[in-house]
Amino acid sequence: TDGGRIEMVDGADVRKIGPEVHGALAARQPGVVTRDERWWRQRTGAAPSSAHEKWTEPFYVVHRAADGTVDGLMTYGTDDKWGDAKQPLNTASVRDMIALNPAAERALWHYLCSIDWVTAVRSGYRAPDALLPLLLPDPRAARMVTHADWLWLRMLDVPRALEARTYGVEASLVLEVRDDAGLAGGRFLLDASTSGARCVPTTRSADLALDVAELATLYLGDESVRRLLDLGRAEELRAGAATTADAVFRTGRRPWCPDVF
């Protein structure tokens, strides 16, 4: 209905298309890490992967928007299982899926759930706020079978990290950052805006005090200062600073990393 279409492609196409699509995902999805050329070559059979991993050629599909640009990419495999009465018991398993907008994600899932003789779908590791359950006629048909906290962040250079991040509001905060390891502690002035940010050491009075570990959770957008205050893991030194910080660090989607590292 949106004018888009699904196309099957091969590994060589994925090596050309994939980096740009993944780069677009990284620009909008908190928590995504980079994929180098070797990653794409290994995942498409052009380079050997780990010794214990047997390579089997998967299927590759892309979603093209109405203007022809690729805004979705999926790699999947299927098994070959049949019941005693020769009824299909096949599962389609997603190895990788990138969707840059809801229309592309809906189209890719619809395609996968419509494959002949496939009776179950394994989604692979998806974001904690993935759209998939709510795209189904019965959201309860989607069952979580594995949960893993495969996303960790240790900040080593607070100013550079905060300047590299995007922000949805304009505000200033002075953060007193503690680091028992002596690597990233200090007092920093963050001037954030929708067009960029500036973060520098300062002697101004702090608005918030917290450990570098708690700052990392705020940085990814998956925690609130209010909850950290309730846990005793942050201290509000200026009235209203917690509300400001929550607005500054809030993200539209929860952080998610589709890759193991």
Q: What is the pLDDT of residues 46-62, one digit of tens each?
A: 998 775 677 889 999 99
Residue 149 has pLDDT above 90, yes or no: no
Reported pTM: 0.90
Report the pLDDT value the prediction gives residue 148, as an integer from 0 to 100.
84
Q: What is the dihedral of CA 111, 112, 114, 118, to 10 degrees?
A: 160
Task: Strand 90-99: give its sheet, edge to edge.
Answer: 5-9, 59-64, 70-78, 90-99, 118-122
Residue 176 has pLDDT above 90, yes or no: yes
Average pLDDT on 151-165 reads: 96
The partner residues of 189 in beta bridges, in order of sequence, read 174, 200
Residue 227 has pLDDT above 90, yes or no: yes
Tell me the torsion sign for CA atoms 91, 105, 18, 7.
positive
Domains and CATH numbers, the chain: 5-141 (3.40.630.30), 158-249 (3.30.1050.10)
Task: In whole angstroms, give the CA distance from residue 57 to residue 49.
Answer: 13
Report the pLDDT value the prediction gives residue 84, as an integer from 0 to 100.
87
Report the pLDDT value the prediction gives residue 49, as an integer from 0 to 100.
79
Report the pLDDT value the prediction gives residue 192, as an integer from 0 to 100.
98
Task: In whole angstroms, give the CA distance from residue 34 to residue 19.
Answer: 9
Decide which of 147 and 131 is more confident: 131
DSSP per-residue string spanning the chain: --S-EEEEE-HHHHHHHHHHHHHHHHHHSTT-----HHHHHHHTTSS---TT------EEEEEE-TTS-EEEEEEEEE---B-TTS-B-EEEEEEEEEESSHHHHHHHHHHHHTSTTEEEEE--S--TT-SHHHHSSSGGG--------------S-HHHHHHHS--SS-EEEEEEEE-TTSSS-EEEEEEEETTEEEEEE--SPPSEEEEHHHHHHHHHT---HHHHHHHTSEEE-STTHHHHHHHHH--SS----SS--
Report the pLDDT value the prediction gives residue 1, as an integer from 0 to 100.
55
Residue 100 has pLDDT above 90, yes or no: yes
